[in-house]
Structure 1
Amino acid sequence: MVSLTVGCSSTKNAQNSKDKVLQPKEVMSVMQKVADWQIADIREHNIVSDDWTYGALYTGLLAYGNLSGDKKYDDFLIDIGNKLDWNTGKHRFMADDYCVGQMYSILYSKYKEPKMLAKFIPQADSIIANPHTESLEFKGDVYNREWAWCDALFMAPPALAYLSTATHNIKYLNIANKLWWKTTNFLYDTAEHLYFRDSRYFDKKEANGAKVFWSRGNGWVMGGLVRMLDNMPANYPNRAKYETLFKQMAKKVASLITSDGTWHASLLDPASFPSKETSGSGFYCYALTWGIRHGLLPYKEYFPVVEKSWDALVASVHPDGKLGFVQEIGAAPGKTTYDDTQVYGVGAFLLAGTELYLLETHK
């Protein structure tokens, strides 16, 4: 009897702890801790970057900063923009190098300072002018001109879509739409409802014989997908097609969450990389929560997945605010440890937390 009583008390305490993690005040608190740790680390190392890794971080800082109402986050990002002279990376047609355009467009929509888009607009116009007729087979330097790898669908299409919103010019959304489906038609596995990272993985197999589908790679896609929808008019011709794709992926992804509350680096062979992984998981938590909040996913079916994943993400935050278990930069599944962190993981964490806060406060 004593053992049973202790067990029930322990279960109740665990549930109460999980419920507390989901409370809006707690969500805001852990986001602030993670955001402030990351900014302090950047300042300590004097980093000013237009790199895709930081471009992903900036999206999360923008979302959290807007939610918190604390202008220090916008001020930090505006300072970065000024130091970069509001320019993107040196490879003008490579998706990674204009991921930072998302930040520029979002800040322009808020502050209306022409310098924020003065260099990105002509770059986007030159992207539109390109023929985009090459094969997406991953060889040579095709990645410098085409979206030939699935990660690109977070880096580039949202940058152009946010530019479309900022300038009220549909042509930027139209080119993003055109190239989104070119990449999807090439890399999306219609049987598994997941994306291959690039053509080199079409015939590769995991240790258990399953196809190789990288967690963060598909997380990039789902994050990019909802950010496209965020900038797409309700009557946009292909909107229903995006929503169908989103629902297909969401159903598959939700079915693959592991017992520890994360999606391991290899989606179809999680045992081959048994540690938690928080960057792909952060993007899935973000996208699924967004889907619930926008009425595309049923709450009863998907919120338990969100709840489980957010609890695991919060448990991966160090006491000082550092986010752990982030797979290092790569192109395929890999191992993680408690001390592994990267800025894009923080971006995903902040996007997920922002959506969760909005969902929990607008029920």
Structure 2
Amino acid sequence: MTSAKNKLLAAAALLLFSGSQAFATGKPAAEKDSTLQKDYILNTMHRVADWQLNAWNTTGFKHNKVDWTNGAAYTGLYALGSMKGNDKYLDFLVKIGNDLNWNTGKDRFMADDYCIGQMYSLLYTKYKDKKMIAPFTLLADSIVAKPHDEGLEWKNRIQSREWAWCDALFMGPTALSYLSTATGDPKYLNIAAKLWWKTTDYLYDNEEHLYFRDGSYLQKKEKNGKKVFWSRGNGWVLGGLVRVLDNMPANHPDRKKFEALYKDMEAKIASIQQPDGSWHASLLDPESYPVKETSGTGFYCYSILWGLNHGLLDEKTYWPVAKKAWAALTSSVHPDGMLGYVQRIGAAPDSVDLNSTEVYGVGAFLLSGTQLYQYVSKHPKAW
């Protein structure tokens, strides 16, 4: 009885102390952010994913099923589908693959047209059905065999032969890297690394730690006189970078170089996050497009959380950045699950509003959500 009474007195003293502290500081006791609760994260992902599936099922595919736009969306659906109890999303992706006979696009050597190879390799890794990667493996063998000796100047449809634009770094090297994991053959990852650095040597700005979209932007300037660095373009790069790292062994000769690039870029990205947690369409001239943009923001949120989950980023520095980015993303979801503020297809910063949406934005959102779910599961006190 005495022990129970002492416990009650101790609890009462703790409450009294907490209340007096709040009174003394003028601040209420900290409340947990409901948007970081696991149930909220999962339910929001379901709403966004189900809205997209419903749109495809009711009005049809706006873009060809094999298109890069959908290929980016499939990456997020796969990530969500890999979480326990979400098999319906994987079933949907398998149906897409069967509808396409597991083929890539018609422009065989253009990275956009084999972005979908990521999905094929991931599904093969899960289900071990050879038909899922047979056509893409033949294409990948052709990519490995090519000389890749052209310059990357933006002319003569170079994009059909080389990774001459920064978006390609989400489309091409990722597909090849996942194929290495699926087949156990390192040659696909090795060519991905080789071509990654070729593109980086041409498009990466070592002073700003950002990528130009393509060679035609090397000398362009924004209204404020700064260089033109497109938010989603650099989002494609960071999203692609962590997905390549996901498939790169710790002892790979390029691993440290990739990690160094990743950390340099993330430091820059964190330094230019907007007060509302987002990034605007133009990274260095946010006032020219003074509204949040959720496809770039989604890929940044994803890549930062990936780095936190893999121990590559400092939690004290980057967890607040990730939390603010997630808040910017979730506040862009309509009541019916449509994700707004997604910049339309393009190659440069452009305007956006609440009703702007596209499938690749959904992919980035779902990739972010799955990484966040992992993080809060491992760090229950972080929020």
Q: CA deviation at 1:261?
A: 1.3
1:133 is matched with: 149
Structure 2 residue 7 is the aligned partner of structure 1 residue 29: no
TM-score after normalising by structure 2:
0.90
What secondary structure is seen at the aligned counterpart in 1 of 2:319?
helix
Structure 2 residue 368 is the aligned partner of structure 1 residue 315: no
Provide the rounded CA distance (Å) in 2 between the counterparts of 1:279 and 1:352.
11
Q: C-alpha deviations, 1:33-67, integer Å up to 9, x for none?
A: 10011001011123261000000000000001102
Distance 1:65 1:12, change over 3 A: farther
Range that drifts further, 127-136 or 64-73: 64-73
1:76 is matched with: 92
Distance 1:37 1:12, change over 3 A: farther
Q: CA deviation at 1:12?
A: 6.2
Which of 56, 65, 73 does residue 42 from structure 1 map onto? 56
Q: Is the 8 A contact 2:48 2:362 kept in 1?
A: yes
Q: CA deviation at 1:95?
A: 0.3
Provide the rounded CA distance (Å) in 2 between the counterparts of 1:345 and 1:151.
14
2:8 is matched with: none
After TM superposition, list the pairs within 5 Å mapping 1:236-251 onto structure 2.
236-251=252-267
Which of 164, 167, 182 does residue 180 from structure 2 map onto? 164
Structure 2 residue 310 is the aligned partner of structure 1 residue 294: yes
TM-score after normalising by structure 1:
0.95
2:345 is matched with: 329
2:356 is matched with: 340
After TM superposition, list the pairs within 5 Å mapping 1:73-112 onto structure 2.
73-112=89-128
Q: CA deviation at 1:69?
A: 2.9
Letter in 1 for 2:33: D
Q: How many residues end up aligned between the 2 structures?
A: 354
Letter in 2 for 1:38: Q
Please identify runs of 4+ aligned residues in structure 1 that moved more than 6 A.
Answer: none
Distance 1:104 1:271, change over 3 A: same
Structure 2 residue 364 is the aligned partner of structure 1 residue 361: no
Which of 131, 134, 145 does residue 118 from structure 1 map onto? 134
Q: CA RMSD in A?
A: 1.5
Provide the rounded CA distance (Å) in 2 between the counterparts of 1:145 and 1:69.
41
Q: C-alpha deviations, 1:187-212, integer Å up to 9, x for none?
A: 00000000000011111000000000
Q: Which sections of structure 2, spanning at least 5 residues, go unmatched?
A: 1-21
Provide the rounded CA distance (Å) in 2 between the counterparts of 1:63 and 1:327.
22
Provide the rounded CA distance (Å) in 2 between the counterparts of 1:119 and 1:45.
29
| Identical columns (%) | 61
Q: CA deviation at 1:24?
A: 1.2
Letter in 2 for 1:143: Q
Provide the rounded CA distance (Å) in 1 between the counterparts of 2:166 and 2:157.
16
Q: CA deviation at 1:275?
A: 0.9
Q: Which sections of structure 1, spanning at least 5 residues, go unmatched?
A: none
Structure 2 residue 247 is the aligned partner of structure 1 residue 231: yes
Provide the rounded CA distance (Å) in 1 between the counterparts of 2:58 and 2:110.
29
Letter in 2 for 1:83: D
After TM superposition, list the pairs within 5 Å mapping 1:246-265 onto structure 2.
246-265=262-281
Letter in 1 for 2:43: S
Q: Is the 8 A contact 2:80 2:86 kept in 1?
A: no
